[in-house]
Chain A
């Protein structure tokens, strides 16, 4: 098993606001992220695909192909956009790092047909990232942790 990782960057704006909360509760829970005018980040996305290298090409998945998938599914959809208003898949969700990373996993997973999607890591800043991985197998179902 070999894992390959491709990195891509995009910039987007967002704000955190739950319409079910009062204005005061929104400010308390979300702090400055609740600023109604929004704010933005330079996001860095690292996508890891795991699999066996093809004996003919020596590749798990051609990184050019992965780059094109990331461009279509993530950059074209999110770069220089407002995540609350311009990404319909996030409608009704707070566009936190956790939720954006989960959406990216959902978008990429069916597109990875060679190898399989192993991890999505989304940095909102150098000091904060969310990881999405497959569910851990049931205890004892795989591997030996002795």
Chain B
């Protein structure tokens, strides 16, 4: 049997979907109200799944005493109450869709030392969610 552990974290952030390579008209057509130049925001919910052997001494795949501070430092504190376009360097050149946000969160978390990062799932709202998983043989290729 295979065991994994999933922990949910939350942060609130602003973003705007706008691709500089496209005309203003194309941006409005593709991104609709998400292209509003003043931006908008979401309460993001991030579910982080790690896998690996269950340590016999602790009964754990990963100690939340280690996972929580790691995720809080790398993601929650970095993104909470921020403007993703303006304050997260990667999103100055990459459109901060939640697909791309998933990839950035995965990239930031895959160095977690105590267990293998298997999946990052982000709910942008209660009606849509996005996932990035590791390839079977290694981390997600970018």
Flag if B4 contacts A94 (CB, 8 Å).
no
Give Cα A31 to B66, complex, Å: 11
Interface residues as binary, A73-90 with B (CB distance below 8 Å gives 1, 0 otherwise): 000000000000000000
Flag if B60 contacts A96 (CB, 8 Å).
yes
Flag if B8 contacts A128 (CB, 8 Å).
yes
User: What B residues does A30 contact at CB under 8 A?
Assistant: 58
Interface residues as binary, A127-138 with B (CB distance below 8 Å gives 1, 0 otherwise): 111111111100
A47 part of interface (Cβ distance < 8 Å): no
CB contact under 8 A between A99 and B59, given known A133-B1, A135-B1, A139-B137: yes
Q: Interface size for chain B: under 10, 10 to 19, 20 to 34, or 35 or more residues?
A: 20 to 34
Give Cα A132 to B49, complex, Å: 12
Flag if B59 contacts A31 (CB, 8 Å).
no
Stretch at the interface among A1-9, A13-21, A55-63: A13-21
Residue in chain B with minimal CB distance to A28: B65
Flag if B59 contacts A96 (CB, 8 Å).
yes
Other-chain residue from A21, A31, A105 in contact with B1 (beta carbon distance below 8 A)? A105
User: What A residues does B136 contact at CB under 8 A?
Assistant: 136, 139, 145
A111 part of interface (Cβ distance < 8 Å): no
Flag if A31 contacts B4 (CB, 8 Å).
no
Taking the nearest CB of chain B, how far is it from the CB of A26, in angstroms? Answer: 10
Other-chain residue from B1, B4, B57 in contact with A20 (beta carbon distance below 8 A)? B57
B7 part of interface (Cβ distance < 8 Å): yes
Interface residues as binary, A86-110 with B (CB distance below 8 Å gives 1, 0 otherwise): 0000000111111101100110000
Give Cα A126 to B58, complex, Å: 22
A117-133 with Cβ < 8 A to chain B: 126-133
Residue in chain B with minimal CB distance to A135: B2
Give Cα A98 to B2, complex, Å: 10
User: What A residues does B88 contact at CB under 8 A?
Assistant: none
Give Cα A79 to B137, complex, Å: 40
29 interchain pairs, CB-CB under 8 A: A16-B58, A18-B57, A20-B57, A29-B63, A29-B65, A94-B59, A96-B54, A96-B58, A98-B60, A98-B61, A99-B54, A99-B59, A101-B3, A102-B54, A127-B8, A128-B5, A128-B7, A129-B5, A129-B6, A131-B3, A132-B2, A132-B3, A133-B2, A133-B4, A134-B1, A134-B2, A135-B2, A136-B2, A145-B136
Name B residues whose Cβ lies closer than 8 Å to a Cβ of A: 1-9, 49, 54, 57-61, 63-65, 136-137
